[in-house]
């Protein structure tokens, strides 16, 4: 190692799901919504001449639209470049006590990356044999708590009472509930925001609103939390939200009818597909997300992953302890899932 390398911050980076550069595939590996954004977004004609200007650093139009949608005041809303940006800023802002932060051992695999990046000590708390969180495991001295609800990659959602117990027993630290998939069947923790000033709820436009390509995420919490987050954000980058994201995000959140209809399609297809694959020897936890976490009673997941890819179908495989015999399967359109089902019938 050269002298200058000794002072480099070294981390093992998060590895996102593959974005294949292949035509004619069925892509079921990154939990994207297959139905596309609202027609209101597609119909917007943006004045390209505006791109010569910096965007509003406060993204006020988007913040106000989100606040209005959720029935909260704008000082309770923070926006960022996807929920990853919001979460990264939250780690940097709130987890500074020097104590271990807590999150599940089977969960979104960016959490330990951010902890390593910011040199935050952490403990990955084991989920049980059914992949469920044990809330009592979080009733210990810690530097903060974060968990997704529904969890990923397991797709399991916990009830609001469960979430509240964790928040109530950790009022001396910030608790972050990552609700990336909540619209597909989870119970939101937003009603608890006014009750607990240490609770931050994080959401995204990438899943249920079909806007992964524009990178829009947001958090709702006590105004004091939002102020601290904003101070860190403006110390990092004054213009984190680009102008198209602000404009299209506002239009998306105004179209409740389209949002509900596409979410309903995903849920309906998810339940149909789950029922069909169970007839083939597959099993999976009850899903409250836009994906299923599946395993087969005799065919190894790694083999299934490879054979599906050969057939032009890409799903997500995690070569990690406890889940290396599971595949995470995004719910695509009914036509895409029928083709995947035909493949599985042939294979099984």
List the Cα angle 346/130/291 in 5-degree steps.
Answer: 50
Distance CA 89, CA 325 (A): 33
Residue 98 structure tokens: 């020097």
- Arithmetic mean of pLDDT over the chain: 96
User: Minimum mean pLDDT among 16-25, 32-41, 139-148, 254-263: which range?
Assistant: 16-25
Confidence of residue 18 (pLDDT cuts 50, 70, 90): confident
pLDDT of residue 46: 85
For the stretch 222-265, pLDDT in tens is: 999 999 999 999 999 888 899 999 999 999 999 999 999 999 99
Digit-coded pLDDT (tens) for 291-346: 999 999 999 999 999 999 999 999 999 999 999 999 999 999 999 999 999 999 99
Which pLDDT value is given to residue 143?
98
Domains and CATH numbers, the chain: 4-36+257-347 (3.90.1150.10), 39-255 (3.40.640.10)
Q: Is the pLDDT of residue 76 over 90?
A: yes
Which regions of the chain does DSSP assign to beta strands (E)?
26-27, 77-80, 101-104, 122-125, 145-148, 175-178, 199-204, 217-221, 282-283, 291-296, 313-314, 316-317, 327-330
Please state the pTM of the whole predicted model: 0.95
Pairing mode, strands 313-314 and 26-27? parallel
Q: What is the 3-state secondary structure (H, E, C) of 36-78?
A: CCCHHHHHCCCCHHHHHCCCCCCCHHHHHHHHHHHCCCHHHEE
Does residue 19 contact residue 30 with C-beta atoms inside 8 Å?
yes
Positive or negative torsion for Cα 35, 40, 42, 46: negative
User: Does residue 24 surpass a pLDDT of 90?
Assistant: no
Buried b (16+ CB within 10 A) or exposed e, 242-262: bbbbbbbbbbbbebeebbeeb
């Amino acid at each position: 190692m050269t002298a200058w390398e000794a002072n480099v911050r070294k981390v093992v980076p998060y590895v996102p799901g593959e974005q294949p550069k292949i035509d004619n595939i069925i892509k079921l590996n990154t939990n994207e919504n297959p139905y596309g954004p609202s027609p209101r977004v597609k119909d917007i004609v943006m004045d390209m001449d505006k791109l010569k200007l910096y965007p509003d650093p406060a993204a006020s139009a988007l913040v106000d639209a989100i606040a209005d949608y959720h029935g909260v005041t704008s000082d309770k809303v923070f926006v960022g470049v996807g929920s990853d940006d919001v979460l990264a800023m939250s780690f940097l802002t709130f987890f500074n006590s020097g104590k271990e932060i807590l999150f599940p051992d089977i969960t979104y695999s960016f959490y330990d990356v951010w902890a390593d990046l910011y040199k935050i000590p952490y403990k990955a708390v084991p989920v049980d044999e059914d992949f469920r969180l044990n809330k009592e495991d979080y009733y210990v001295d810690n530097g903060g708590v974060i968990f997704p609800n529904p969890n990923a990659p397991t797709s399991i959602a916990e009830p609001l009472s469960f979430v509240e117990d964790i928040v109530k027993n950790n009022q001396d630290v910030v608790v972050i509930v990552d609700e990336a998939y909540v619209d597909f069947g989870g119970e939101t923790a937003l009603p608890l925001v006014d009750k607990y000033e240490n609770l931050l709820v994080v959401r995204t436009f990438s899943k249920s609103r079909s806007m992964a390509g524009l990178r829009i995420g947001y958090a709702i919490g006590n105004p004091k939390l939002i102020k601290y987050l904003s101070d860190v954000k403006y110390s990092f980058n004054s213009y984190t939200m680009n102008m198209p994201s602000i404009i299209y995000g506002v239009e998306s959140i105004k179209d409740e009818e389209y949002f509900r209809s596409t979410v309903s399609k995903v849920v309906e297809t998810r339940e149909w597909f789950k029922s069909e694959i169970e007839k083939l020897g597959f099993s999976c936890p009850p899903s409250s997300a836009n994906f299923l976490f599946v395993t087969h009673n005799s065919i190894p997941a790694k083999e299934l992953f490879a054979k599906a890819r050969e057939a032009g179908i890409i799903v997500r495989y995690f070569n990690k302890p406890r889940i290396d015999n599971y595949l995470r399967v995004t719910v695509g359109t009914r036509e895409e899932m029928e083709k995947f089902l035909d493949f599985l019938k042939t294979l099984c």
